[in-house]
Every structure is written in C-alpha cells, then in structure tokens.
C-alpha cells in the first residue's frame, strides 16, 4: 500500500487483517479491548474492532524489504 490509510475511515473489508507479532505487541502500549494493532501494507494501524475504523496509524512502520518478505505489500502496489 503506497498511499497511507486515512484516519476515521473504514478498514478495507477486501483486505486481510495481518496480526502484529507478539514480540512487537509486548513493546507497544496496552490498548483498551475495543482497539487493536494491525498492519495495513507497511503501515501500523490502530483499529476499532467493532466499527472496523482506522483510528490512527504510523506510516511506513515496516521497512519495504521486510514488508515484501512478510507478504505485507499489497499485490497491486496500493
């Protein structure tokens, strides 16, 4: 995904919801149960589970090489 996600928009329902590795989760702040960390391409997003809403994100949180190796680059380059 080359264009960063937008805050207060729906998480694309046509895309998978890649989880964040446990080692990284342990280093991130604990979230309320209605929120979760997920990856969207190379971006780390904060997602409202019930609303399927992108609450916040860190653009390019995963280096391009690591994202491609992990299959996190969107196949269409978006």
Q: Global pTM? A: 0.77
pLDDT value of residue 63: 86
Q: Report the CATH superfamily, name and number, of domain 9-69.
A: inner membrane protein cigr (3.10.450.160)
Q: Which pLDDT value is given to residue 62?
A: 86
Q: List the chain pLDDT tens, one digit each, 78 residues.
A: 456 799 999 999 999 999 999 999 999 999 999 999 999 988 999 999 999 999 999 998 988 875 566 665 554 444
Q: What is the pLDDT of residues 63-78, one digit of tens each?
A: 887 556 666 555 444 4
Q: Which residue has the tokens 């998978």?
A: 16
Can you spell out the DSSP letters for the chain? --SPP-TTEEPPTTS--PPPPHHHHTTSPP--TTEEEEEETTEEEEEETTTTEEEEEETT-S-HHHHHHTT-S-TT--
């Amino acid at each position: 995904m080359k264009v960063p996600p937008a805050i207060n928009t729906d998480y694309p329902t046509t895309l998978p919801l890649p989880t964040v590795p446990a080692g990284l989760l342990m280093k991130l702040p604990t979230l309320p149960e209605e929120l979760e960390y997920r990856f969207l391409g190379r971006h780390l997003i904060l997602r409202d589970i019930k609303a399927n809403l992108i609450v916040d994100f860190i653009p390019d949180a995963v280096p391009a090489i690591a994202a491609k190796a992990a299959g996190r680059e969107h196949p269409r380059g978006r």
